[in-house]
Homo-oligomer: A and B are copies of this chain.
Amino acid sequence: MTTPSADTTGQELDSVLAAAAAARAPLASLPAAARAEALRRVADTLDGAAGDLVPLANEETGLPVEPRLVGELSRTTFQLRLLAEVVEEGGYLEATLDPPDPSWPAGGRPDVRRMLRPIGPVVVFAASNFPFAFSVAGGDTAAALAVGCPVVLKSNPGHPGISALSGSLVTSALSAAGLPDGSFALVRGEEAGRAAVLDPRIRAGAFTGSPTGGRALFDLASSRPDPIPFYAEMGSVNPAFVTEAAARSRAAEIADGYLGSFTLGMGQFCTKPGLLFVPASHAEAVEDRLVAALADRPAARLLNDRIAGGYARVLSTLVDHPAVRVLHPGADSAVGPAPTLLGTTAADLLAHHAELAVECFGPTSIVVRYSSAEELLACARSFVGELTATVHGEGDDEVAGLLLAELTERAGRLLWNGWPTGLAVTYAMHHGGPYPATTAPLHTSVGATSLGRFLRPVAYQNMPQHLLPEALRDGNPLGIPRRLDGVLTPR
């Protein structure tokens, strides 16, 4: 008998992978309605178990019950239901039909029909900081199951109990919904995760976590005899830029918003704003207001010892850096740290970008004083790959437009007069970005288009009706949006 916390053995993993491979074809051939129904059943099951899930998550992660964990669970089940809708609508299949056309240039056009199909079994690595939304039944699992890919879930060791409970709830909900055995399984331990990435039965991987872990797994996936796509979301510094005009009109409001955002959830978000660029003219006022507000901020527990250790290490490197001033040292207590505020200058940031513009996963951020619009733009250009970038500006603010032009090449999401924490799950949301934010700049791990990571196109040429997938048959029997002879037609 294996205890719930023991690592998955090689033999156990082999059974899991064999079952996932066996589930591949039956799961892929289920109609969209069956997959949507399964996602909704998982959502209902999780909502029904909130009374068990939330307290256990609170115990294992230290995250507060209200509003955080209750909100995160409802976000997670909403995400499952939204992806169910997306799958039923069918536009995600990109069904495209080219009727035969003998007059088509270069030799005529045969009957060609294209759609997206599930890529096959996926290994998903759960994150530590969201025990629901980016864990067992989180966005990656939901997206893979939504399109018909079996999921092998490498659980996060930071919340073993919630992982085991969520895993068994997901398994039983999928089974009750009639999904084939092997559609979902949970594995434990780094070795099982690595072995899954290297196994030929696995066709793609998804990960949310640290740059070190994400890059190591991406390298494994790319080194295979048959490389597979590996979607790692590895966090970000999320710079926020305050223009002179914005500082002039509402410095206090911006300072308060920033404080709320970088300390939210003890700063344990990949969207935490890690740098705030403030004009030198208003920097002292902003810093003073922040320092005063931080005096009252209590120390609190971080997610787990590993996170706490990493935070302490990065923070101490920043504090020791000659270009960094400590504006407010967050006192350490037995329970954990209090938020820390640091300061530097734009000139120092430009001179030491690699050392200062680093993700410090926890309740710390750096205020960067800049002295001119040119310097601010140079700072914007010093970033290469961010999940988000934020601009606080005014309506007729010329520098804001220039900033956004630079940042649009460097970040996945651009915010105006807001804060990057609090990621909405929507149709248009993009949670991704150029490396080092992710290993796959074309893809998102949140929102309707997150399905695209687990789909590959197939074209059918001169195929008879009865051998075509329903999505591509004449008369549009599924009633889905399709592109017909180049023209997009809604259902």
Taking CB atoms and an 8 Å cut-off, the chain A residues in 407-437 that contact chain B are 408-409, 411-418, 422, 424-430, 432, 434-436
One of A169-177, A321-329, A478-486 at the interface: A478-486
Counted per complex, copies of this chain come to 2
Chain B CB count within 10 A is highest, among A219, A384, A442, for A442
Say whether A430 contacts B458, CB under 8 Å: yes
Taking CB atoms and an 8 Å cut-off, the chain A residues in 456-487 that contact chain B are 456-464, 466-467, 481, 483, 485-487
Docked pose: A47 CA to B108 CA in angstroms: 19
A304 on the interface (CB 8 Å rule)?
Answer: no
Docked pose: A136 CA to B70 CA in angstroms: 57
Nearest chain-B residue to A118 (Cβ)?
B409
CB 8 Å contact bits of A108-123 with B (1 = contact, 0 = none): 1110111001011000
> How many chain-A residues does the 8 Å CB contact rule pick out?
96
A400 on the interface (CB 8 Å rule)?
Answer: yes
Docked pose: A464 CA to B404 CA in angstroms: 12
Question: In the complex, what's the smallest C-beta–C-beta distance from A325 to chain B, in angstroms?
Answer: 30
Question: In the complex, what's the smallest C-beta–C-beta distance from A385 to chain B, in angstroms?
Answer: 7
Question: In the complex, what's the smallest C-beta–C-beta distance from A74 to chain B, in angstroms?
Answer: 6
A71 on the interface (CB 8 Å rule)?
Answer: yes
A42 on the interface (CB 8 Å rule)?
Answer: no
A222 on the interface (CB 8 Å rule)?
Answer: yes
A94 on the interface (CB 8 Å rule)?
Answer: yes
Docked pose: A29 CA to B428 CA in angstroms: 21
A239 on the interface (CB 8 Å rule)?
Answer: no
Docked pose: A487 CA to B85 CA in angstroms: 11
Say whether A104 contacts B426, CB under 8 Å: yes
Say whether B428 contacts A98, CB under 8 Å: yes
A96 on the interface (CB 8 Å rule)?
Answer: yes
A interface, CB within 8 angstroms of B:
24-25, 28-29, 71, 74-75, 78, 85-86, 89, 91, 94, 96-98, 104-110, 112-114, 117, 119-120, 203, 218-219, 222, 226-229, 384-385, 395, 400-401, 404-405, 408-409, 411-418, 422, 424-430, 432, 434-436, 439-444, 447-449, 452, 455-464, 466-467, 481, 483, 485-490
Top 8 A-B pairs, shortest CB-CB distance:
A430-B459, A75-B106, A114-B428, A222-B222, A96-B428, A78-B105, A112-B428, A226-B435
